[in-house]
């Protein structure tokens, strides 16, 4: 797995001297948070590279000690987080309700990430769908 192409959160600036992870951070220092590294940290998540959506059960609507931050955190978090979460649920529900889905082959789905800022799948997901009656 490559770790050199990871999405960063919006830059922050420390307003006062502080210590983060044992490092002294002087006031005025620009800080970049590597969100991808947090989400794939084996000290936080059991088997972080395995696809396991159930690991996020119980985290809905709560801050979890900065373990999962797809929308950032604090004053500079994404203002569209509530809308995005609502639309994701609505869209997924409509896709499941309105279509029958099939795999194109029996080959296992490759969950490897590609090399771009938005981290697309390395191999595109190909599926057949037909409208439900």
* Shared domain check, 19 and 54: yes
**pLDDT tops 60 at residue 61:** no
Rounded (5°) CA angle 62-64-66:
125
* Shared domain check, 94 and 61: no
* Shared domain check, 67 and 22: yes
**pLDDT tops 90 at residue 131:** yes
Domain range for 58 is: 1-78
Annotated binding-site residue numbers: 78
Q: How confident is the model at residue 5 (pLDDT cuts 50, 70, 90)?
A: very low
Phi, psi of 86 (to 5 degrees): -65, -45
* Shared domain check, 107 and 58: no
Helix ranges (H only) for 18-77 are 35-39
Q: What pLDDT does 116 receive?
A: 66
Q: What pLDDT does 63 receive?
A: 59
Annotated binding-site residue numbers for heme: 78
**pLDDT tops 70 at residue 1:** no
CA-to-CA distance for 26 and 13, rounded, in angstroms?
A: 10
Please tell me what DSSP assigns to residue 86: H
């Amino acid at each position: 797995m490559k770790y050199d192409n990871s999405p960063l959160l919006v830059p922050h600036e420390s307003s006062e001297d502080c210590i983060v992870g044992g490092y002294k951070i002087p006031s005025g220092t620009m800080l970049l948070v590597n969100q991808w590294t947090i989400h794939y940290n084996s000290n936080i998540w059991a088997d972080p590279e395995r696809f396991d959506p159930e690991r996020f059960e119980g985290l809905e609507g709560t801050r979890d000690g900065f373990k999962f931050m797809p929308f950032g955190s604090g004053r500079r978090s994404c203002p569209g987080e509530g809308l995005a979460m609502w639309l994701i649920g609505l869209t997924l529900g409509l896709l499941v309700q309105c279509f029958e889905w099939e795999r194109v082959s029996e080959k296992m789905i490759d969950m490897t990430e590609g090399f771009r800022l938005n981290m697309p799948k390395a191999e595109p997901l190909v599926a057949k769908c037909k409208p439900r009656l």
